[in-house]
A and B are shown apart, each in its own frame.
Chain A
């Protein structure tokens, strides 16, 4: 009887904590939509029509759903990357760069491996190699930043930004040079197409959505399991919440910082790999239109919870994808979406505004995203 009562209240507690956690993001979205609507009105548009266009364009047909899922895939991976780092007390601004190096390496393995070996590699070997090398590259790229933090105290925010410059410019150098597609008609900085055996197949005939989306959902589940159910996850969260207590408890804080960054980079790298292997079949300069930066917004909106990240990623994907339809219906520029996203993020980050507007009492528990210098 006693235990039944307790488990009942436990379920209620869990439900309560979920609704509390999602309340602010939900109200932030709602408020952003209202403010966005006012802006549309102000510039002489029809907000109802615009939002209807947005919904139709993102969820209104099988094709729209498929395209939304395609947009969501890199968002989920990169969002998980940033969220995992947050859980470990680290602010990974470098998802963009980790994504780029992952994409470059997977493209290279994708088109060049058969040439190097001199024969066609079966997909069952080729595709995993493409994925693994891209993921490792992303992990190494971010792991360097983790090591700098652990051993020199160099702050990861600065160092991930610097590593972004190195990654993006090196990518540009490679795509304009040794890795450039040499077909006579090509003038763009891009790699040759990857071999068929290096491609992730679509799920349905005739739609572009590929198995990478399913992999993204599975990865989100895996990250949730890793963080909440495993010893390693316990260590990562402990270091993130209280590095002093972590040290006291015998956790090797330096090792965990490096590992967390590396795991985060692997997830970001995976975002790049999947874009190459599942969608574009090559790496092209400027293919990532800020996935790595949107990922920060997605992790924030999703409160760094893997399920939250998936939902936030789908929301961002839907907005990006539906924007064209909205523009077609109402002549509202696609940039409106960036504005909406900025409003959402603003309201999530400065949640005092939302708490004030909707009179929500603060519980006094603030999310600490990153610690000060040195750590």
Chain B
């Protein structure tokens, strides 16, 4: 056995009710390497990491740390074994300082009170040693997301982790912040830390990792070196078939204005103004993409445009009518299709059948309802048509939506929304967390709507998605639209700068 191997998982099998999440998985991590674990949602990456981190227990197989078998029953065991994990959703308390967050769960006290000075000194040591700049006394909630992520990494190093698991670390970062993270990752490995990098983004994997392991449907498909592969090959391994990575989109003249937003301001539930003075318009037959790092006001903007939230200022004109602050029913009846950001919270009633969900916005109209009584036959027939037309994989229309996979749940929503006679589609993160096949499908449906002359407002934090689908791109930063450009006349790098807050003097 190679003595350089710091972590090894052998023959790991984990069965969840109805799913074989890990099927005889072998995985190893060498000292000082970045080993990327690539796979679609549901491929079993998270399950494997949760087993290594002690959140679940394998049915079969063994885990070795530094060549010795270890029994990991809880995160405490894995921390003791020198394994640290940075979760996709940070486990930080925003009102605490960096030092307080770092020592949380392992508090250092002096005569019964917290010894912040000792902890701060140790954090400064770690910062210097690994090139991770953080101020121990800063309040975490006031730090940018990229720095919060550093705090998470410092937390693992503070606990003497030699193996760090990063779960989808770039999902919340701008391209520039991601570059910073990659630099930190290389610094860490140069100092002997080993990193497992979980992601589904092909470009990043090729850019930063030493080895790449691809998982699909609970199994390890292959482990390759980045120099000997390319994006297309990795995508094929992930999906198990040939994938077209670009969307086939023909040029087309935009038509008349469908949506016009003037000086719109919106407050979130904490009463903070997260959208200020935003103005733009979307025309028929064009896709306007709104790019931006998550949490820059996109959620509130789309809620205000779909009737879920009252704007505090400004005007929304849809199809020639002033619809500012009008409820969702009015918006739907004016011709809005809304693919919501959070499909399980807004888009579906998980306990309802697929058929009921497919009529969620139309249940009260003919033919689904007559004189206040639901018409099961009409609901059933409608559902069967949409299941066929949109290729929803479900055993029957009577299965509850909660039992479908994420991709098929999203297809239920897309089918429901795009099958109506609509003039405007607002799609917020329409492919988040979906497999490549579903992403392809949904992208094509969106382009079909555009080609039919429908106006499309696409909000997404995935720059690739924005660039592939949009005719024009608006960049949102801290609640404002900082630039609007023609999609053909811009680059990833330029958009990345705007997303990070650079001003748009250079924009045309």
Chain A residues with a Cβ under 8 A of chain B? 6, 10, 13, 229-234, 238, 241-242, 244-252, 361, 364-365
Contacts and interface: CB of A to CB of B under 8 A. Distances in A.
A56 B17 CA distance: 46
Contacts of B350: 241-242
A6 B356 CA distance: 18
Contacts, number: 67
Nearest to A365: B351
Contacts of A248: 306, 308, 328, 338, 340, 346-347, 360-361
User: Which of B349, B372, B373, B374 is packed against the most chain A CB atoms within 10 Å?
Assistant: B349
Interface in B345-373: 345-352, 356, 360-361, 363-364, 369, 372-373
Nearest to A6: B396
Given A231-B364, A250-B328, A244 B369 contact: no
Contact of A250 (B17, B340, B356, B361): B361
A252 B332 CA distance: 14
A229 B363 CA distance: 12
Contacts of A244: 345-346
User: Which of A10, A231, A233, A249 is packed against the most chain B CB atoms within 10 Å?
Assistant: A249
B348 A245 contact: yes
User: Which of B347, B360, B398 is packed against the most chain A CB atoms within 10 Å?
Assistant: B360
Given A246-B349, A248-B338, A252-B329, 15 more contacts: A10-B398, A230-B373, A231-B364, A234-B363, A241-B349, A244-B345, A244-B346, A245-B348, A247-B346, A248-B308, A249-B328, A249-B361, A250-B327, A250-B328, A251-B329
A21 to B, nearest CB: 13
A238 B327 CA distance: 17
A243 to B, nearest CB: 10
A251 B347 CA distance: 13
Contacts of B348: 242, 245
A230 B361 contact: no
State the 4 A-B residue pairs at the shortest beta-carbon distance, nearest first: A250-B329, A248-B346, A231-B369, A249-B360
11 contacts: A6-B396, A10-B396, A10-B398, A13-B398, A231-B374, A232-B372, A234-B363, A242-B350, A245-B345, A247-B346, A361-B17
A246 B360 CA distance: 8
A247 B361 contact: no
Contact of B372 (A230, A245, A364): A230
Nearest to B352: A241
Nearest to B365: A231
Contacts of B17: 361, 364
Interface string B10-22: 0000000100000
A248 B357 CA distance: 12
Contacts of A247: 308, 328, 346
A233 B327 CA distance: 21
A310 to B, nearest CB: 23
A231 B398 contact: no
A174 B18 CA distance: 62
Contact of B349 (A6, A233, A242, A361): A242
Contacts of A252: 327, 329
A191 B306 CA distance: 56
Given A244-B345, A245-B345, A229 B373 contact: yes
Nearest to A234: B363
A250 B326 CA distance: 11
Interface in B78-120: none
Contacts of A250: 327-329, 332, 361
Contacts of B373: 229-231
A242 to B, nearest CB: 5
A242 B396 CA distance: 23
A230 B374 contact: yes
Contacts of A245: 345-349, 360
Contacts of A241: 349-352
A251 B369 CA distance: 15
Nearest to A228: B374
Nearest to B361: A249
Interface string B297-329: 000000000101000000000000000000111
Contacts of A233: 374
A247 B306 CA distance: 11
Contacts of B306: 248
Contacts of A232: 372
A140 to B, nearest CB: 23
Contacts of A365: 351
Contacts of B327: 250, 252
A373 to B, nearest CB: 14
B347 A231 contact: no
A360 to B, nearest CB: 14
Contacts of A230: 372-374
A238 B349 contact: yes
Nearest to B356: A234
Contacts of B329: 250-252
B389 to A, nearest CB: 19
A230 B396 CA distance: 22
A10 B345 CA distance: 28
B338 A231 contact: no
A246 B327 CA distance: 12
Contacts of A234: 356, 363, 374
Interface string B239-282: 00000000000000000000000000000000000000000000
A6 B329 CA distance: 35
Contacts of A242: 345, 348-350
B120 to A, nearest CB: 37
Contacts of B340: 248
Nearest to B396: A6
A242 B349 CA distance: 6
A162 to B, nearest CB: 27
A250 B333 CA distance: 10
Nearest to A233: B374
B396 A231 contact: no
Nearest to B398: A10
A132 to B, nearest CB: 21
Contacts of A229: 373-374
A109 B356 CA distance: 44
Nearest to B348: A245
A242 B357 CA distance: 12
A151 to B, nearest CB: 15
B381 to A, nearest CB: 13
A126 B396 CA distance: 52
B454 to A, nearest CB: 20
Contacts of B361: 248-250
Interface in B402-417: none
B419 to A, nearest CB: 15
Contacts of B332: 250
B187 to A, nearest CB: 43
A251 B348 CA distance: 14
B250 to A, nearest CB: 33
A57 to B, nearest CB: 41
A231 B360 CA distance: 11
A234 B332 CA distance: 18
A330 B346 CA distance: 58
A229 B356 CA distance: 12
A156 to B, nearest CB: 21
Interface string B327-341: 111001000001010
